[in-house]
A and B are shown apart, each in its own frame.
Chain A
Amino acid sequence: DSGVTQTPKHLITATGQRVTLRCSPRSGDLSVYWYQQSLDQGLQFLIQYYNGEERAKGNILERFSAQQFPDLHSELNLSSLELGDSALYFCASSQGGWGNTEAFFGQGTRLTVV
């Protein structure tokens, strides 16, 4: 158990809909990362937050947004869903800062858009 909790584990929704994925980081971790992994693909970095502020942005679509709340949990919002958005979405957390960048991953949310 990595200590990172993601909910829900599975999500099936229709095209055009909007969903919210939730991530609770490990206790004490300030950094949260979101990754997308499509079938047989590598991990695509979406976005990183550190202590509530956006720190780095990857290949995140405009239809996607994220935030980190004061209690440090994070949510990834996916809207106007398309079939191609079906993927595993992973959240990871780390303490952040020099020498504290070991990131621990949650079990992921498997999103299926039909």
Chain B
Amino acid sequence: GQQLNQSPQSMFIQEGEDVSMNCTSSSIFNTWLWYKQDPGEGPVLLIALYKAGELTSNGRLTAQFGITRKDSFLNISASIPSDVGIYFCVAVDDSWGKLQFGAGTQVVVTP
């Protein structure tokens, strides 16, 4: 079946550094979503992408919908301690909105 490959699995960075993560697939998707999950909490939607090539920002977060529609990228600039958490990419492949989650990227920010 379809699978999303999200990398890296984890990142340990210093405060102020930029973070980049990505998701790739062998299949084409119509929508890419990026979520952040804090421990014990539900995932929170960060950015939604609906067009190939689309670049969207939300504060220090920037995400792109790959031109081939098979990948997406998330960048966090000038990381701060509250950026700690697990970031999930989600791909949507049909009109009913079936969500496919990546395995997640755990981000740890040290002062």
A-B contact count (CB 8 A): 70
Residue B97, interface by CB 8 Å: yes
Total count of chain B residues near the partner, CB < 8 A: 25
Given contacts A42-B88, A42-B101, A42-B103, contact A103 B96 (CB under 8 A): no
B88 contacts A43, C-beta separation under 8 Å: yes
> Given A31-B97, A42-B104: A107 and B41 within 8 A (CB)?
yes
Q: Is the CB of B42 within 8 A of A96?
A: no
CA distance A105 to B37 in the complex (A): 10
Query: Which listed residue (A90, A98, A99) contacts B42, Cβ 8 A?
Result: A90
A103 with B99, Cβ < 8 A, contacts A42-B88, A90-B43, A108-B42 known: yes
- Interface hits, B74-104 → A, CB 8 Å: 88, 90, 92, 95-104
Report which B residues bind A (CB closer than 8 A). 30-31, 33, 35, 40-45, 48, 50, 88, 90, 92, 95-104
